[in-house]
Structure 1
């Protein structure tokens, strides 16, 4: 009698849209979902800090190859910024290193400050960030007491809307909804808003409401996923996130074997290629007159 274990059937390839709880790292969520989904092939797009909650896009099996492309899409956040206190991490997880009364700051001043941080801007990432400096993560060097010099980066804040202003003595809490490009630090927006107003500021709450087309309405808690692992199929995930191109069986076969197709002018980003049966064939990008493969998903 054989003692070999029966090989477990892998889960379908696709995305899991998670509503990340507070205090969990993005890696914690991936580790949990490896157990729930029953596979090691799990990854995430776009890290959320432990303090933050909300939409975390997780890829399972072949869908892990989509994650690098999804991480580059626009994101949405609900944030609370506290004016009158500066921290060494630009958020509530750090130590307060400076205080100044914000009682005199009028709502109109806040709105003017927000306006200067809207549109294409340059932003210096927080000292405590995952950016590599000389091969080492900035947060490791910062936590070792080193002053890390980070270069400004171009980002786009397409929307920065104030939803409430609440006063607590010398402190002012500003609730805001932000839409921004990949790589934008909401902590840095909080820091720069406070600095521009001359009172300092930091982020006290953050909830990601959207990653590309995936918003909170599609997100599931870990408790719900433990009861039922809801996986968005690959074809549906790609159709929601990228422009679609339908091809013939011959074209699908050509791409599957490394061939290229003529460009149709569908844009510079990834394009989902679908066969005549509706199955996802590949992600391609157009360069000049040619559409070349970024990732092929058919055998």
Structure 2
């Protein structure tokens, strides 16, 4: 099986994202696998695995909006911002009322600055932050700008509360809960997290890790085009498909296309060949990422 493709996995609690990739490798026999968007061991839900040349599309999936259902607890702080770290009870903590909490959440919508957790994969002078944290090193992480499109309260019962969050790439949900807790003056940790969707990839289509078997995994394989549906597309002729698969530029005179426009190159069967940029000066589509067509598609093109 050499064709590129995507698998949408429903990650269970426990394994790391790397563990899921290793499982996919064992089941499929494909060594070139990569995930698009890390989930911590505590977290469950949508994890997209890219196979073969589809790994080149990981950045397109990572930049898609992500939807989470997260649970938090007031009155506690943690060095990891969740219940898996060292917990510290906050004396005399008074959690906000549901109405007060809704007002707090509203302050976190839009573009905000956020300091990542110290137990995270952020690089600090060439090392992962979680490695430095485990070694007891003293360091500070730089705040970064992230985008929060939705932060809606689902329920609130005493110290326990749950929210639906839709956010851009690079957002740490456990840090959101931490910052809400600090703003409320009583601290908070994340107790549970489920990623409901990455862009169009949802839990409804995700396969459970335990259901991924050697003789059935291909039934769940999605074509790489699903990673770049948002891009404008150019359908290549059979001859152009061969050119594109070999990185050759395709003449497409057009006064309407802006210079540098990113486009998906498709075969006549609507299979993804790759990603190209339009060069207005020379009126060509210049392939930048090549996801070669399947052997059958290439053979069909060669015979035309």
TM-score interval (norm. to shorter)? 0.7 to 0.9
Q: CA deviation at 1:109?
A: 1.5
Q: CA deviation at 1:112?
A: 1.3
Q: Aligned in 2, Cα 1:101/1:39: closer, same or farther, shift over 3 Å?
A: same
**TM-score, normalised relative to structure 1:** 0.87
Deviates more, 1:284-293 or 1:86-95: 284-293
1:188-203 alignment, distance < 5 Å = 188-203=175-190
1:258 maps to 2:245? no
- Tell me how large the CA RMSD over aligned residues is: 2.4
Aligned to 2:198: 211
How many residue pairs match? The answer is 286
1:26 maps to 2:17? yes
**Unaligned stretches of 5+ residues in structure 1:** 1-9
Q: CA deviation at 1:26?
A: 0.5
Which of these residues, 122, 126, 133, is aligned with residue 113 of structure 2? 122
Contact 1:81–1:203 under 8 Å retained in 2: yes
Aligned to 1:277: 269
Contact 2:43–2:195 under 8 Å retained in 1: yes
Contact 1:260–1:292 under 8 Å retained in 2: yes
Which of these residues, 114, 123, 132, is aligned with residue 123 of structure 2? 132
Q: Aligned in 2, Cα 1:164/1:101: closer, same or farther, shift over 3 Å?
A: farther
How many Å separate the matches in 2 of 1:193 and 1:266? 42
Q: CA deviation at 1:239?
A: 5.5
Q: CA deviation at 1:198?
A: 0.6
Q: Aligned in 2, Cα 1:261/1:84: closer, same or farther, shift over 3 Å?
A: farther
- Secondary structure of the 1:86 match is strand
Superposed CA deviations along residues 88-136 of structure 1, whole A, max 9, x for unmatched, are 1001110113414444521122111111111111111111110110000
How many Å separate the matches in 1 of 2:275 and 2:164? 32
How many Å separate the matches in 1 of 2:148 and 2:173? 10
Aligned to 1:151: 142
1:245 maps to 2:234? yes
